[in-house]
Amino acid sequence: MWFVYILRCADNSLYIGETGDVERRLEKHQQGGCTYTATRRPVALVYSETYPSRESALQRERQLKGWKRDKKEALIRSDLTTLTKR
């Protein structure tokens, strides 16, 4: 099982990643073990999805990273109206 997750950083920026263990990866972020989040702590897990393979998780991660911030925020809020707008 693989996960795609979104963190909200202390500066309100969003970080998107993939992992096989969300709890362990979140702890690593909290300890400064990631270049981007190291200077933006603390971070909070605000969203995650599960995938059957790393390949499918990586594909979704790339997709989400290509979205504009308002669409990412809509995903976090589960705002289907905004997500389905073109």
Under 8 Å CB-to-CB from 69, ≥6 apart: which residues? 14
> What's the pLDDT tens digit per position in 7-39?
999 999 999 999 999 999 999 999 999 999 999
Domain that holds residue 62: 2-84
Contact of 35 with 43, CB cutoff 8 Å: no
CATH of the domain at 22: 3.40.1440.10
Q: How many domains does the chain have?
A: 1
Q: What is the pLDDT of residue 28?
A: 97
Q: What is the pLDDT of residue 64?
A: 98
Q: Comparing C-alpha atoms, which of 68, 57, 72, 71 is closest to residue 17? A: 57
**Which tens digit of pLDDT belongs to each residue from 62-75?**
999 999 999 999 99
| pLDDT beyond 70 at 86 | no
